[in-house]
Chains A and B, each alone.
Chain A
Amino acid sequence: MIGKTEFIPTTCPYCGTGCSFYLVVRDNKVLGIEPWHTPPINEGKLCQKGRYAREFIHSKDRLTEPLIKKDDVFMQSTWDEAYRLIVEKFKSYKPEEFGCLASAKASNEDNYLMQKFARIALKTNNIDHCARLCHSSTVSALSEVFGSGAMTNSILDLQESNCIFVLGSNTFEQHPLIGRRLILAKKRGAKIIYADPRRTPTARQADLYLSMYSGTDVSLLNGLMHHIMENGWEDKEFIDKRTKGFNYFKETVMKDDYDLKNVSKITGIPEPDLATAAEWIAKSKPCALIFSMGVTQHTVGVDNVKSAANLMMLTGNIGKPGSGVNPLRGQNNVQGASDMGCLPNVYSGYQKVTDVRSRSKMMSLWGVEEVAGGAVGYTVTEMIDILADEPGRIKCMYLMGENPMLSDPDLKHVRAALENVEFMISQEIFLSETAEFADVVLPAACYAEKNGTHTNTERRVQRWRKAVDPPGQAKPDWLIICEIARLMGYGKQFPYESESQIFDEVAKVTPSYAGMNYTRLENPYALQWPCPDTSHPGTQILHREKFATLDGLGLFTAVEWKPPAEVTDSMYPLILTTGRSIWHWHTGTMTRRSETLDAEVKTGWVEINEEDVLKLGIEDGDMVRVSSRRGEIKIPARVTEDIKKGEIFIPFHFKECPANLLTNNAVDSIAKIPEYKVCAASVEKIKG
C-alpha cells in the first residue's frame, strides 16, 4: 500500500512576484514541486528558486528545539524553560529598551501579531523589518507624491505597455516571472529601455541599454525630463488636470545642469541614447517604469523615487493599464509585513501611531487600556546605530527571521551592535549568523509548514497552505508569539486557534484588507488591495481617476541630483555596487542548503571590467582583496566586459566573502535606507 499522496497548492517563499505551485506530499514529507497552472501570475511556470524551493525544507540543519545560551554555548531546552526565561526578561525592561524586528519572509498573520505584541505587550513602537533596507524610500516617496506607497499597476497589465523603462532592476534574474511579462510586451512590439551599470541578462533583452554609473539616477531622470519638455512632448492635459507643483519642478529640471550634455557627463550614458530614451518614453503610450533596489538603496533613495514619479506624471503614464510607477518588491511578503504595520510609525494599513484617533481605534479594537505611546519608534538602521554607539539605551531585541549580521551594511558595525544587546531572542528556521548572537533561539516553521497569507509586489494577497508538520518541536511564528503573549497576561488579546481567525482580525482593523477572508482567497486569482468590502473585486490599478492624496492630485517635486555619500578617490578608486544572483536568496540560509542551486554557484565573486584589471595585473579567477574604508574581503575575480568601467559588483549572499563588510551605512535622511549601491573601494591581487 502507498501512503496518502497529496498535491497541496501554495505560493513561493522567495521573491515578491508571488508565483504558485503544488507541493507533493506523502508521509509528512515534501517529495517535490509540480506546476499549478491556474494562478495568473506564473501560469505554472517557475524560476529555479521556485522549482527547487523544497530542497531546504527537510534540511538536517533545521532548528528543531528551543536553544538557550549558557556560558556562550547553546544548550537544548524546552519551550516551557525558554518561555519562562523570555517572559521574565521581557517583564524586566522598559518599553524604550526593546527593539523588535519582524520579517518580510513570514506571513501577514505572523507579522500582524508581531507588531500587535510589540505595541500591546512590550508597549514599544520600536518595530521594523527589512523593508527598511529595500523599499522604504519608495514608500516614503510615493506616499507623499501619490498618497500610496505601493506599486501602481499590476504584473499582468505590464504586457500591455508599449514601452517599459527598467531602471535599477535586474528583472530577469530577480523577478524572472515579471521578466517574462517584458518579453510578452516586447513580442507585441513594445520597446524595452534598460538602465544599469551592469550588462545583465535583462540588458540583453533590451532594445536600448543605458550603461550608467551607480548613484546618478536623478541626473538621468531629470535629463530625460529636460529633453522631453524641451521638445514639448509632455502630457499637458494630465499635468493640468491631475497634478500640482509643476512649475517649480519645471524650473529645476530645465536648468542647464540637466541638459543632455551635462547629464551624459554625470551618468556616463551617450547623449544620443539619452535622447532616444526620452523620445520613446514620451511618445509610446502607455509606458511603464519598473524599478528596484538600484533606485532605492541610496542616500538619495527618496529623491530617486520622487524623480521617477515625476517622469511618469510628466508623460501622463499613471492610472492606465501598461503604465505606472512599478517598484518591484524584493521579499515574498515585504509588502505585507509593511501593510501589517511592522514599521515604527504606523499600525496596519498605514494608520499613523502619532494620530490619536488611530491609537484609540486600535486600543478599542484590541480591547486594551494602553498601547505604545504616540511617538514614532526606531527604524532598524537606527536601532543598530544606537546599539553600537550608545550601549544601554536598547537592551532587548526580539527578532523574527531577520539576519542583519549578513544583510545589513557595514558588518563590523552590526557586530558591535549585536554584541551590545543584553538579551536577544532569534526566532528562526536555521541558526543564522545573527542567531549565533542570541540568548534564546526559538525554532520556527517554514513556509511549507504553516497556513497564512502573503502580499506580493502588486498588492495581491495569496495563501500559503500547510503541507507538512514543522520539524521536531518547531512551531509557526504566530503561535510562538501567542504563547508568549498569553504567559505575559494577554491571553484575551491573543486567543487565536487558527491563522484564518488572525486574518479576520487583520481585515477588521485594516481598511485596505477589509473585504478579504480565507474563503475569498481560495480563488486562484486571489485579491489585490485596496479591497474595502466583501463584494469588492480588488484593485488592479491605483490612481485611475485621482491620486490617493488628500486633494486627489499628484505632486511634482523639484529634485536636484546629489552625489553619493562616499565618492571615489585615489585610495579607493572604484565604485562598489552590490546585488543578488538568480541562484541565491539574500543571506543564503535557504538557497545554500538547496543542492541544485548550490551546485551552480558555490561562492561569491567580484565583477570587474576587463580594462580596469589591466593595470592591476588581475586575471579572471584570481583571488583578490577588495577593500573599503570599513573592511576588506578575499574573493575570486570575474573579469568581464559586462560591467561599467570604474565599477565593481559583489553579490551579498556569501558569508565567506560578505559584500556588506564593505558597504556604507550612510542612510537616506527621510527613509533611513542605507546606501548599499554605492561606496568607494579598491581591488588588489593577492600575491602567492
Chain B
Amino acid sequence: MSAKGDLIHAWSSDPLVRENGESGGAVTALLKFALEDGMVDAVLGVRKGADIYDARPVLITDPGEVADTEGSIYGGTLLLSKLFGKYLSGAKDLKIASALKGCDVMGAYEQAKRKQLNLDNVLMIGLNCGGSITPAMMRRMISEVFQVDPYSVEKTSMYKGRFHVTYGGQHKDIPIDELEERGYGRRSNCRRCKMKIPRQADLACGQWGVRKDLVGRATFVEVCSGRGAELINRALEAGAIGTDIPDASCIKARKRREEAILNLADRWRERDFTPLSGSKERLKEMIEETSRCIKCYTCIEVCPALFNTTRPYVTAFPGRVPPEFGFHLLRYSHVADSCIDCGQCEELCPMDIPNALFMHAIEADLEELYGYHAGEDMSRPYISIMEEPRV
C-alpha cells in the first residue's frame, strides 16, 4: 500500500503503452486508469499536433484515446492552467485528471485561489520539468547548432543536463549550458524556474532518479497526497501499473539532479535580475520595452494570476496605442506577488516585450519582502487582490 510521502518506480502493465509511452508509460497508465475507473470524467492533456515540436491541448473522455497524449513535448510551451476556467467551467461539476508541468500546477493553484478552478475536482499528475523550448527555437537550434534537418528528427529529449536529438538512426547531444550561452535553448522563464518537481500535485512523476537498469522503462513517482496514494493503490490493485521501490542511491541521484538544476536557476536569476536591480534601471527598462505595446491584452488573457476578464484593463485611455504606462502598472499591481513565472505573457507577446522578466523580478522582490510563495499551496498572497475586479 502506498501512502503520501512514498517514493516508487512505476510502469504501465500494458506492454504496448510501456513500449510507446515515456519512461514505461506510468503517467499514461494512471490517467487511463483514472478515466476507466470513474475517478475522473475527463483527461486534459497535450498531444502531438502537426509535428514532433508541436503540442496541442486535448480533452479526452474515451480511455482508449489516452495513449495518444504526450507527457514530454519539450517544444510544448502551452500552459494548461487557464483552460479549466475558460473552457471546463472551472471543474466545478466535472472531475478532471491532468498531466501538468510545474508552471501548470502553480497556475492551477493561483486560478483556484481566485475561484476560477475547483482543485478538489482536479487530479494533478505532476511532471518533472527541466524547462521547455519553443517550437521555433527548437527548429532553429536543431538546424543551426546540431546541423540536423529538423524534419528528419524522430525524438528530442533533455536528460542529465544535455539536449538529445535522435534522427535517422543517429544521435547527437550537446550540454544545455553550452546551448544557452550561445543564445539557444530553453525559454528564459524556464531557466529561472525553481519548480522542477511539482510536489504540490497529487503525484510528481519523472525520470530523475530512475534506477539504471530501468531507465526508459520506469517512471520515478513521488506520492504527494492522499488522493495520489489512492490512485496508485487502486491502479496497482486493478493491475494497470507495476511498481518497485527505489533504493537509497536512486533517491540520492534524484536529489543531486534536482539540486544541480536549482543551482543553475539561481545563476540565471542573478544574471537576469541584476540589470534590473536599481530602481531607475528597472523603470527605464520597463518604460522603453513597453513603449511598443499594441494593447492586444494577451498578457492579461494568458496570466494564471489574473481573472478571466480584460474589462478592468481598458483603463483611462481606451483605444490608445501604445497604451499609457498605467496599463502595465495596473497589471503589475494586480499580479504582484502572485507571478509564477510561467512565461506566457512574454512568449505570446506580439511585440516581444520581456513581460515575464519584469513580472518575475517584481515577484522575487515581493517574495523576499513579504514571504509569500506563489503557486505552492492554497495560502493567500500578501499583495495581489483576490476578489474579481468589478467594472
Binds A, one of B5-13, B256-264, B313-321: B313-321
Instruction: Name A601's closest neighbour in chain B (CB-CB).
Output: B319
What 1/0 mask marks residues of chain A from 30 to 54 whose CB sits below 8 Å from any chain B CB?
Answer: 0110111110101111111001000
Q: Does A79 reach chain B (CB closer than 8 Å)?
A: no
Binds A, one of B111-119, B122-130, B174-182, B347-355: B347-355
B51 pairs with A204, CB closer than 8 A: no
A46 pairs with B50, CB closer than 8 A: no
CB distance from B138 to the nearest CB of A (A): 10
What 1/0 mask marks residues of chain B from 37 to 51 whose CB sits below 8 Å from any chain A CB?
Answer: 000011000000111
Q: Does B377 reach chain A (CB closer than 8 Å)?
A: no
Instruction: Name B57's closest neighbour in chain A (CB-CB).
Output: A7
B61 pairs with A2, CB closer than 8 A: yes
Q: Does A273 reach chain B (CB closer than 8 Å)?
A: no
What 1/0 mask marks residues of chain B from 298 to 321 whose CB sits below 8 Å from any chain A CB?
Answer: 100110000000110010001101
Cα(A499)–Cα(B42), bound, Å: 34
B135 pairs with A47, CB closer than 8 A: no
Cα(A32)–Cα(B88), bound, Å: 12
CB distance from A55 to the nearest CB of B (A): 12
Cα(A320)–Cα(B209), bound, Å: 50
Cα(A51)–Cα(B297), bound, Å: 8
Q: Does B94 reach chain A (CB closer than 8 Å)?
A: yes
B298 pairs with A51, CB closer than 8 A: yes
Residues of A within 8 A of B248 (CB): none
Q: Does A596 reach chain B (CB closer than 8 Å)?
A: yes
Q: Pick from B87, B311, B350: contact of A24, CB below 8 A.
A: B87
A176 pairs with B296, CB closer than 8 A: yes
Residues of B within 8 A of A550 (CB): none
B291 pairs with A9, CB closer than 8 A: no
B294 pairs with A176, CB closer than 8 A: yes
Cα(A51)–Cα(B349), bound, Å: 11
Q: Pick from B94, B298, B351: contact of A183, CB below 8 A.
A: B351
B351 pairs with A43, CB closer than 8 A: no
Cα(A31)–Cα(B351), bound, Å: 26
Q: Does B78 reach chain A (CB closer than 8 Å)?
A: yes
A600 and B318 contact, Cβ closer than 8 Å, known pairs A2-B41, A51-B297? yes
B322 pairs with A201, CB closer than 8 A: yes
Q: Pick from B311, B347, B352: contact of A44, CB below 8 A.
A: B347
Cα(A44)–Cα(B349), bound, Å: 9
Q: Does A599 reach chain B (CB closer than 8 Å)?
A: yes
Q: Does B292 reach chain A (CB closer than 8 Å)?
A: yes
Cα(A177)–Cα(B350), bound, Å: 6
Cα(A51)–Cα(B301), bound, Å: 9
B298 pairs with A179, CB closer than 8 A: no
What 1/0 mask marks residues of chain A from 1 to 24 whose CB sits below 8 Å from any chain B CB?
Answer: 110110101000000000000101
Q: Does B358 reach chain A (CB closer than 8 Å)?
A: no
B294 pairs with A48, CB closer than 8 A: yes
| Most chain A CB atoms below 10 A, which of B50, B77, B311, B318 | B50
Q: Pick from A9, A38, A172, A524: contact of B294, CB below 8 A.
A: A172
Residues of B within 8 A of A524 (CB): 50-51, 54
Residues of B within 8 A of A44 (CB): 77, 134, 347-348
Cα(A34)–Cα(B51), bound, Å: 18
What 1/0 mask marks residues of chain B from 71 to 115 whose CB sits below 8 Å from any chain A CB?
Answer: 000010110000100111000001000000000000000000000
A5 and B352 contact, Cβ closer than 8 Å, known pairs A172-B292, A173-B294, A596-B297? no
A47 pairs with B294, CB closer than 8 A: yes
Within 8 A of B (CB), among A565-609: 581-583, 596, 599-601
CB distance from B55 to the nearest CB of A (A): 7
A38 and B53 contact, Cβ closer than 8 Å, known pairs A204-B291, A600-B319? yes
A37 and B297 contact, Cβ closer than 8 Å, known pairs A2-B59, A2-B61, A180-B352? no
Residues of A within 8 A of B49 (CB): 9, 36, 38
A179 and B351 contact, Cβ closer than 8 Å, known pairs A22-B56, A51-B297? yes
Q: Does A77 reach chain B (CB closer than 8 Å)?
A: no
Q: Does A466 reach chain B (CB closer than 8 Å)?
A: no
Cα(A176)–Cα(B83), bound, Å: 26
Q: Is the interface of B mostly helix, strand, loop or mixed?
A: loop
A38 and B51 contact, Cβ closer than 8 Å, known pairs A24-B87, A176-B350, A600-B319? yes
Residues of B within 8 A of A47 (CB): 294, 296, 350
Instruction: Name A183's closest neighbour in chain B (CB-CB).
Output: B352
Q: What is the number of contacts between chain A and chain B, taking CB atoms within 8 Å?
A: 133
Within 8 A of A (CB), among B53-69: 53-59, 61
A201 and B321 contact, Cβ closer than 8 Å, known pairs A2-B42, A2-B88, A40-B136? yes
Q: Does A493 reach chain B (CB closer than 8 Å)?
A: no
| Most chain B CB atoms below 10 A, which of A24, A38, A43, A582 | A38
Instruction: Name B151's closest neighbour in chain A (CB-CB).
Output: A523
Q: Does A549 reach chain B (CB closer than 8 Å)?
A: no
Cα(A48)–Cα(B300), bound, Å: 12
Q: Does B295 reach chain A (CB closer than 8 Å)?
A: yes
Cα(A183)–Cα(B292), bound, Å: 9
Instruction: Name B347's closest neighbour in chain A (CB-CB).
Output: A44
User: What number of A residues sit within 8 Å (CB to CB) of B?
Assistant: 47
Q: Pick from A51, A173, A582, A599: contact of B318, CB below 8 A.
A: A599
A523 pairs with B50, CB closer than 8 A: yes
A32 and B86 contact, Cβ closer than 8 Å, known pairs A2-B42, A38-B54, A524-B50? yes
| Most chain A CB atoms below 10 A, which of B59, B61, B298, B321 | B321
Cα(A453)–Cα(B87), bound, Å: 28
Residues of B within 8 A of A37 (CB): 54-55, 75, 77-78, 134-136
A201 pairs with B294, CB closer than 8 A: yes
Q: Does A254 reach chain B (CB closer than 8 Å)?
A: no
Residues of A within 8 A of B135 (CB): 37-38, 43
CB distance from A64 to the nearest CB of B (A): 26
Cα(A180)–Cα(B346), bound, Å: 13
Cα(A215)–Cα(B3), bound, Å: 77
Q: Pick from A1, A43, A176: contact of B134, CB below 8 A.
A: A43
A600 pairs with B298, CB closer than 8 A: no
A48 and B134 contact, Cβ closer than 8 Å, known pairs A9-B49, A38-B49, A523-B50? no
Within 8 A of B (CB), among A263-286: none
Residues of B within 8 A of A179 (CB): 292, 294, 350-351
B296 pairs with A48, CB closer than 8 A: yes
What 1/0 mask marks residues of chain B from 156 to 185 whose CB sits below 8 Å from any chain A CB?
Answer: 000000000000000000000000000000
A42 pairs with B41, CB closer than 8 A: no
Residues of A within 8 A of B319 (CB): 581, 583, 600-601
Within 8 A of B (CB), among A163-188: 172-173, 176-177, 179-180, 183-184, 187
Instruction: Name B302's closest neighbour in chain A (CB-CB).
Output: A35
Q: Does A205 reach chain B (CB closer than 8 Å)?
A: yes
Q: Does A256 reach chain B (CB closer than 8 Å)?
A: no
Residues of B within 8 A of A237 (CB): none
Cα(A596)–Cα(B50), bound, Å: 31
A204 pairs with B322, CB closer than 8 A: yes
Cα(A430)–Cα(B79), bound, Å: 36
Q: Does A685 reach chain B (CB closer than 8 Å)?
A: no
Cα(A256)–Cα(B170), bound, Å: 66
Residues of B within 8 A of A4 (CB): 59, 61
A31 and B87 contact, Cβ closer than 8 Å, known pairs A7-B58, A37-B54, A38-B51? yes
Q: Does A533 reach chain B (CB closer than 8 Å)?
A: no
Cα(A172)–Cα(B42), bound, Å: 42
CB distance from A5 to the nearest CB of B (A): 4
CB distance from A361 to the nearest CB of B (A): 35
Residues of A within 8 A of B54 (CB): 36-38, 524
Residues of B within 8 A of A204 (CB): 291-292, 322
- The contact sample of 7 A-B pairs, CB cut-off 8 A, is A2-B61, A7-B57, A35-B78, A37-B75, A38-B51, A38-B136, A524-B50
Q: Which 10 A-B pairs have the closest CB atoms?
A: A601-B319, A38-B54, A5-B59, A48-B296, A600-B319, A45-B350, A38-B135, A524-B50, A600-B318, A43-B136
Interface residues of A (CB under 8 A from B): 1-2, 4-5, 7, 9, 22, 24, 26, 31-32, 34-38, 40, 42-48, 51, 172-173, 176-177, 179-180, 183-184, 187, 201, 204-205, 522-524, 581-583, 596, 599-601
